[in-house]
Amino acid sequence: MTQVRTRFAPSPTGRLHVGNLRVAVFNHLFTRRHGGRFILRVEDTDVERNVEGSLEGIMEDLRWAGLDWDEGPGVEEGGRGPYRQSERGRLYREAAHRLEAEGRAYRCFCPDEGAERERDGAAEIGCPGGCRFLPATERTGRLEAGEPSVLRFATPDEVVSFRDEVRGVIAMSAKDLGDFIILRADGRPTYNFAVVVDDVGMEITHVIRGAGHLSNTPKQVLLFDALGVDRPIFAHLPTVLGPDRKKLSKRRGAPGVADFRAQGVPADAVVNYLSLLGWSPGDDREILTRDELVEAMDLGRIGASNTIFDPEKLRWVSSQHLAAMPLDEVARVVEPYLDRTRFPLRDEQIAPALDAIRTRLEALGEVNEHLAILFPTDEVLQGARDELRHDPGAPSVLLAVREALAAVDPWEADALAAAVRAAGKEVGARGKALFHPVRLALTGDRQGPDLGKVMAGLGRKRVLMLLDESAGWVNSQP
């Protein structure tokens, strides 16, 4: 099999949103599955829409997502560049003039409204002014006189068909396409022509993109054929809809990759979730590692039906990835989000504290919200101590637990939990009678994360201090 070569071709008009990134995810996973080459190509010929700094932002987003490219900006190896369309003008002109010389394209002198009608979807046989059938002498004369012209593809009178890996064989009459423009009057290529010339030059074997490009594919198929090259394999991903069941787009507020980063959603979780939008690994798994996704990626498992982007489902996937991540890794990646002023944790305390709350985390950015459970305000603790005054069994429980915990070494969750249970047995307390006073003393609440992990996260000094203070307050009140 020829080496798989795919491409992701964003326009530098802003940062990546979830729909763009999903296309890159499918291309990257499929390419890695087959040991191929993933190319980043920049479609920047629409200069009016280009945004300064956008390309750098796109590359930053891709790197964050772990979607490294084998060829593209900054990786010019392979001899198939340049990888910015704005630098490939000569290649487009050469291909266009070749088609013109072979009679597969012709000069059209129709005014701009002809091009406007084409953009509006009005297909024509020939062009509005019949330029396809002009005598060669007249065409030459008008060109030599400097009359502006575009170059149109001479669409053949035939049925154009192609196979899509998702939707099967698609066929239509080429007449319905009309003679479409491939070079504008200023020499710039149109989208469909530039894409094909790029795919040919970069030897793209698989074109994996959104279903919105299906309408472009017949034109591109004709151009591949006219250039005398094999067509790539096409796979058009199902359309992603937002929660409102409308097409997800930047203009409709589609979340950006930068939003995920700011929230602290792990990149692996984002890639995992986006891969599930229109695809299945062939079993009931929903949580997959990067390696598992690569191993399972198969174009035959992509569905044709529209799919829904569900922010809540993404957060659930994120929580599962955080729960499975090694604790020391969570401690490392949470650092930028941690409010050290509010929670003056020593470095060695961070991992135990996270262990107590990690099952509640859906994103790293929530860490301070959940750490607050372990570090209640003085007002909350005082309210809990006042509540303990009305529990006649609280003083003996707090003193027994304090004594048992003081002897625990090393200070680890399982040993701490066992010590609490042993202290309860000693004073005849269990269940709520045992655990509620301890939780109220430590966190100001009757409920919360695993008590052993809470104590491990708080540390020996703080736990013993809080128990002493609570027991002392309760015993001092009349």
Q: 3-state SS string over 125-193?
A: CCCCCCHHHCCHHHHHHHHHCCCCCEEEECCCCCEEEEEECCCEEEEEEHHHHCCCEEECCCCCECHHH
Alpha-carbon gap, residue 41 to 69, rounded angstroms: 10
CA-CA-CA-CA torsion for 403, 409, 411, 414, nearest 10 degrees? Answer: -90
* Mean pLDDT in order along the chain per 10 residues (478 residues): 92 89 97 97 85 92 97 85 94 97 94 49 60 92 93 94 96 92 94 97 97 96 97 96 81 79 96 96 94 97 94 96 95 94 87 93 96 92 91 92 95 96 95 95 93 94 93 74
Query: Token pair of 10, please?
Result: 């964003």
Positions of E strands within 43-126: 105-108
So what's the pLDDT on residue 250?
64
How many C-beta atoms lie closer than 10 Å to residue 381's C-beta? 20
In sequence order, what are the residues at sequence separation of 6 or more whose Cβ sits closer than 8 angstroms to the Cβ of residue 254?
17, 18, 19, 242, 248, 309
Question: Do 251 and 257 form a contact (C-beta atoms < 8 A)?
Answer: no
* Cα torsion through 367, 368, 373, 377, rounded to 10: 170
Query: d(Cα 441, Cα 388) in Å, to the nearest integer?
Result: 8
Based on the residue annotation, tell me whether 247 is a catalytic residue of this protein.
no
Q: What's the confidence (pLDDT) of residue 379?
A: 94
Q: Which of 246, 250, 453, 461 is catalytic?
A: 250
Q: What is the pLDDT of residue 122?
A: 40
- Residue pair 230/196 in contact (Cβ under 8 Å)? The answer is no
Ordered structural domains, the chain, with CATH? 1-72+238-324 (3.40.50.620), 89-192 (3.90.800.10), 378-476 (1.10.10.350)
How high is the pLDDT of residue 121? 42
C-beta of residue 456 within 8 angstroms of C-beta of residue 356: yes
Sheet strands (E) in 27-131: 37-40, 105-108
Task: Check residue 300 and report its DSSP letter.
Answer: G
pLDDT in the model for residue 116: 44
pTM > 0.85: yes or no: yes
